[in-house]
Structure 1
Amino acid sequence: MTRRRRSPAVTRRVSSSGRWLLPPVVALLLLAGCGVPADEQPRAVEPPFGPPAAPAASSVPGRVEQAFCLVRAGRLVRVLRQVDAAGGADGHLRRLLAGPDNAERVAGFGTALPGAVHVLGARLVDGRAQVEVEPLGEESGRSDEVLAYGQIVCTLDSRADVAGVSFLLRGRPLEVPRADGSLSSGPLTAADYPAVTGPD
């Protein structure tokens, strides 16, 4: 039995066409084998090993803006601070009692609270902030109670969960001065101190 031999032209044509077909076929097979199937739900991605990168200041979790009323040139002025967490009314008040920070002092802000009002704490009751105070001694020598109480009222009234501020002395309602000089047991809001409130 004799074997038929291909002509050189046919051999060249077959090998040439095979050479051109091979790369696309291989590429298709590789793509089909390396495809990533879509998940129905997002998957957690494991972070690379090593120390985490420091986050940007604007993306630090829990960082929020909080309003405080401070004193400048004898008037109440609202300032905003970035704090780690908003917290409750008592924590907000204690930040106010700590006084202005370094940047606020450089900008000319102060506080009328030391020596004018002795605050024990605050709690939220039915949407009203109740601030417990105790009497000051005669030696305090401060006459800016309006600004001091105004700082507390305006600061706590800036909160979304506070609808008014009242003061207690030994558990009983306390009348405090408003901007017009009249006394009120509250509930007080920032609107009670327009005469001593300056522009932000």
Structure 2
Amino acid sequence: MTRAAAALAATGGLLLALAAGCGVPTEDAARVMEQTRPAAARTPAPAVTATGAVTEKLYLVRDGLLVAVERKVPSRPDARQLVADLIAGPTPAEQDDGITSALQGITAISSATDAGGSATVELSTALEGTGRSDDVLPFAQLVCTLSSRTEISRVVFTRQGARISVPREDGSLTEDPLTCADYAGLVRR
């Protein structure tokens, strides 16, 4: 082996050893990572015009209870748009009024549709276990917002097209269609 080839092999070996030592150390047990969801960093506040032709009603959160917020929007929102507006969260003015959302920045909702008096919310993953202690609030927000439209009388949740159990206000699980009445104690009057 020539001197240049030996030097090249030694340098390559040294670089390989250094690269192997630069990794993240292994652990014997899995570690739980806390989910952080800074609202402002993930989802910008929705753009809301003060002078729309239609009033949109969203159920957002203040002090752990749902509050109905009305916004003027240019056209009548369908189920998909209502859910998108919930995920976008409160406007800066609503935030200044202490309003938040348990859904802001959530990516577990695949779709929302409405037909025949019912809305269906398709989840790609569970909304439970989002790191929040108030897991019932996201479902309450969705159900109350969607059923605030006169043509939607009930809301169901599915995953891969099959109904799934979600929590009611009292924490009991159901696959049955839900209405805002199932969360009445969470709605600020």
TM-score interval (norm. to shorter): 0.5 to 0.7
116-125 or 181-190, larger mean C-alpha shift: 116-125
Alpha-carbon distance change, 106 to 137 in structure 1, aligned in 2, over 3 angstroms: closer
| Structure 2 residue matching 1:140: 3-state secondary structure | coil
Question: How many Å separate the matches in 2 of 1:117 and 1:153?
Answer: 17
**Deviation by residue 1:91-123 (Cα, 9 ceiling, x = unmatched):** 121111110011110111000114777211111
Identity across aligned pairs (percent)? 40
**Deviation by residue 1:58-80 (Cα, 9 ceiling, x = unmatched):** 9x6x6111100000001111111
Question: How many Å separate the matches in 2 of 1:185 and 1:76?
Answer: 22
Asked if the contact 1:69/1:78 (under 8 Å) is kept, the reply is yes
Q: 1:156 aligns with which of 143, 146, 158?
A: 146
Alpha-carbon distance change, 107 to 129 in structure 1, aligned in 2, over 3 angstroms: same
Question: How many Å separate the matches in 2 of 1:122 and 1:167?
Answer: 9
**1:81 pairs with 2:71:** yes
Give the 5 Å matches for 1:54-133.
Answer: 63-114=53-104, 118-133=108-123
Question: Max radius of gyration: which structure?
Answer: 1
Letter in 2 for 1:185: E
For these two proteins, the number of residue pairs brought into alignment is 141
**1:193 pairs with 2:183:** yes
| Structure 2 residue matching 1:151: 3-state secondary structure | helix
Q: TM-score, normalised by structure 1?
A: 0.64
Gaps of 5+ in 1: 1-56
**Deviation by residue 1:3-33 (Cα, 9 ceiling, x = unmatched):** xxxxxxxxxxxxxxxxxxxxxxxxxxxxxxx
Asked if the contact 1:117/1:145 (under 8 Å) is kept, the reply is no
Alpha-carbon distance change, 181 to 64 in structure 1, aligned in 2, over 3 angstroms: same
Give the 5 Å matches for 1:40-59.
Answer: none
Question: How many Å separate the matches in 2 of 1:143 and 1:82?
Answer: 32
Shift of 1:87: 2.7
Question: How many Å separate the matches in 1 of 2:178 and 2:128?
Answer: 26
Asked if the contact 1:116/1:148 (under 8 Å) is kept, the reply is no
